[in-house]
Amino acid sequence: MRTIDDLDVAGRRVLLRADLNVPLQDSGPPPEGVEGRPSTTMRITDDGRIRASLPTIEALRARGAKVIVCAHLGRPKGEVKPELSLAPVAARLGELLGTEVAFATDVVGDSARAAVGGLADGGVALLENLRFEPGETSKDDAERGAFADRLAALAEVYVGDGFGAVHRRHASVYDVPERLPHAAGGLIVAEVEVLRKLTEDVERPYVVALGGSKVSDKLGVIDNLLGKADRILIGGGMVFTFLKAQGHEVGGSLLEEDQLGTVREYLRRAEETGVEFVLPVDIVAATAFAADADHDVVPADAIPADRLGLDIGPESGKLFAARLADARTVFWNGPMGVFEMEPYSHGTRAVAQGLIDSGAFTVVGGGDSAAAVRLLGFDEAAFSHISTGGGASLEYLEGKTLPGLQALED
């Protein structure tokens, strides 16, 4: 896989596919007179992915490239949705870079061409949300290819650096690299290097901590890791399918009935192969999905029928920390509870602290896990690596071929 060091970028237009899919919060209606245009009141609540993109952007600028950044935000499904405009991202990117970032109000139209045409060497422009264009995510090769042609026409060189999107066969990720000289940006190079440490010559004990809402999101990675990890800790909403599979009451907790058979098979295989599955021993069970609901700590095998589990309990937090203590390699993906609500944040906090205290090579697998680290006030430098791509990192660990990486390797 070539890197940006292998490309001649001085004075050339470089299309940089970044991952700027940041969480936004609406802080009020748009100012008077801007109806129908992107709201300027959307507030970025976590700029981690923007900051992760800075080194590659700055490296290209330093070498005199005209940097055209393209990215997606949310799932507008081919429609222009002002609340998913990248305008707030352009503003924040400019602040972090310390320079003006030209913002195109379309992706491949007149505004994009004008923004690109106005770039000086070392200048930066950001195109509007790629997913406002149906061709970006189309499953029809011809439609996707036609959009890729228009996007590629804006540039002379392509750099792929949006790791959070490399598992998607999208135009900006998969098709554009076929049309331009291309290389991987620093973020993708770093992500792949880290993930290889989780799949090749792993230092043991190798512990995997999985949480989040759905077992179905983690089926592939559990299946693959049963032959590779020494220990798998299960928390979050997905744990209730495991508890139900063991015959326990889970009340109104999140449950995937259709996955019970698969989970039972995983538990059987783990016992057969010597992989240790660690499940919670207690649960924080509430009367409703709300921070101010009545809640109590109950045994994991005795959740009241009229309550729902929203976090692992304090004894489980201690248990998980103890099972992380001797690890030499740890991969964590998915919070242990509804960490955004303080009463149900303690399990996630315990696991995060357990990673730090272990002294192991620790990888936080993007998405909600990375958001939790920042929201709960942990020093990001305390972890070996915080991935920008939750879904991409999971699919890599499943052993799948990721289209975006495949395109950069060709």
Give the CA dihedral 368, 374, 378, 380, nearest 10 degrees.
90
> Count H helices, E strands: the chain?
14, 17
Instruction: Give the pLDDT of residue 25.
Output: 87
Write out the two tokens for 349.
């906090």
Q: Is 340 annotated to bind ligand? A: yes
Contact 378, 356 (CB under 8 A): yes
367 carries an active-site annotation: yes
Closest by CA position to 388, among listed 377, 404, 399, 406: 404
Which residue is catalytic, options 367, 389, 390, 404? 367
Instruction: Give the pLDDT of residue 214.
Output: 82
Q: Is 218 annotated to bind ligand? A: yes
Q: Which residue has the tokens 């959307």?
A: 42
- Kindly state the DSSP code that residue 283 receives in the 8-state scheme: E
List pLDDT tens digits, range 329-338: 999 999 999 9
Give the number of C-alpha atoms closer than 13 A to the C-alpha of residue 312, restricted to the C-beta side: 32
Which residue is catalytic, options 49, 66, 323, 349? 49
Which residue is catalytic, options 51, 122, 391, 400? 391
Contact 33, 94 (CB under 8 A): no
Contact 335, 368 (CB under 8 A): yes
Q: Is 369 annotated to bind ligand? A: yes
Instruction: Give the pLDDT of residue 34.
Output: 38
391 carries an active-site annotation: yes
Closest by CA position to 368, among listed 350, 384, 352: 352
Helix axis angle for 346-358 and 314-324, nearest 10°, is: 20
Q: Is 244 annotated to bind ligand? A: no
Q: Is 236 annotated to bind ligand? A: no
Query: Does this chain's domain 4-32+39-191 share its CATH topology with 202-398?
Result: yes
Q: Is 140 annotated to bind ligand? A: no
Q: Is 73 annotated to bind ligand? A: yes
Homologous superfamily of domain range 4-32+39-191: Phosphoglycerate kinase, N-terminal domain (3.40.50.1260)
* Segments in the chain below pLDDT 50: 31-39
The dihedrals phi and psi of 405, each to the nearest 5 degrees, come to -75, -40
Homologous superfamily of domain range 202-398: Phosphoglycerate kinase, N-terminal domain (3.40.50.1260)
Closest by CA position to 128, among listed 172, 84, 96: 84
Which residue is catalytic, options 2, 51, 150, 214? 214
Instruction: Give the pLDDT of residue 232.
Output: 96
The dihedrals phi and psi of 103, each to the nearest 5 degrees, come to -110, 125
Domain residue limits, the chain: 4-32+39-191, 202-398
Percentage of the chain exceeding pLDDT 90: 84
Whole-Å CA distances, 255 to 9, 204, 300:
51, 32, 14
